[in-house]
Amino acid sequence: NEAAAASSDYLRMFALVAMGYMWARMAKIATEKLAEGSLERSPFYTGKIKTARFFFEKMLPETEGRFRMIMAGAGPLMTMEKEEFAA
């Protein structure tokens, strides 16, 4: 029951961390390109950096809550008896 109870929260947390890694890579490259003086694509690179910042500030913090849900285990999920579902 423990693995099943945590599975969707774990997958969501893993996806957020993986996307965070990818946004960090994109922001790093965009910062390097802007430092090189790539003016022609400046709005594109600036947009990448701003989107990465949005992800880190608004989306990635969800991992904290997902981690707490995973650590709560199956207990809170499994407390109901089958008869209580029919009520």
User: Per-residue pLDDT tens for 56-73?
Assistant: 999 999 999 999 999 998
Q: Measured between alpha carbons, how far is 30 from 38 in angstroms, rounded to an integer?
A: 10
Instruction: Say which residue, 23 or 2, is predicted with more confidence.
Output: 23
Q: In the structure, what pLDDT confidence band is assigned to residue 4 with cuts at 50, 70 and 90?
A: confident
**Which pTM was predicted?**
0.80
So what's the pLDDT on residue 87? 60
Burial class (CB in 10 A: 0-12, 13-18, 19+), 16: middle
Q: In the structure, what pLDDT confidence band is assigned to residue 75 with cuts at 50, 70 and 90?
A: confident
Range(s) of the domain holding residue 25: 2-86
Work out how many domains the chain is built from and give that number.
1
Q: Measured between alpha carbons, how far is 1 from 78 in angstroms, rounded to an integer?
A: 8
Cβ-contact 5, 69 below 8 angstroms: no
